[in-house]
Amino acid sequence: MSFRIGQGWDNHRIVTGRPLILGGITIPSDFGLDGHSDADVASHAITDAIIGAIAAGDIGMHFPDTDPRWKGAGSLQFLKHAVQLAAEAGYTIGNVDSTIILERPKLKDFRLAIRESLAATMDIAVEQVSVKFKTAEKVGPVGEGRSAESQAVVLLVKA
Ligand code: C5P
Ligand code: MG
């Protein structure tokens, strides 16, 4: 097969006293995201999209949140590992498109930094990585400021 497509989704609860890390970038914020790892919801969605594209299970299978090795782990290492799995399966990353859904703070000034961080981790060009931002229009858990969500699709190309 020349191409494989993958989709990923993730959600983390908003809490105080933790940093807000998106795509490996720490965003100035008075709250963060809860989780066993650094709770980088954007990296998790992209990681799952890559793992899904090669039908290799899901992020929790490769990095169980019961494993003390991953407590507080930087999620870019999960992403790097997924790219390695794809390479072992004979695929390179064609492009990644993603959306982070968070009511506040405004993220658009961090777009390039997040794209550069993700691209460097995946060892691809920044032009191959898209990151979009949306509010949830004050509706539902994301809109009420209780959680953050992220979605991603990835296209893998046969190496
Ligand atoms: O959700 P909404 O359509 O109102 O978002 C409008 C724009 O605001 C988005 O396209 C995005 O550029 C920006 N935005 C942002 N940070 C957020 C949510 C949205 O920069 N947390
Ligand atoms: Mg997660």
Q: For the chain, list residues with pLDDT below 50.
A: none
CATH code for residues 3-158: 3.30.1330.50
Distance 148 CA to ligand 2 centre (A): 10
Distance 101 CA to ligand 2 centre (A): 14
Instruction: Return the percentage of the chain with pLDDT > 90, whole number.
Output: 92
pLDDT score at 1? 83
**Closest ligand, as measured to the CA of 33:** 2
Residue 137 CB neighbour total at 10 angstroms: 9
pLDDT score at 147? 98
Whose CA is closest to atom 11 on ligand 1?
133
Residue 112 CB neighbour total at 10 angstroms: 12
Domain boundaries, the chain: 3-158
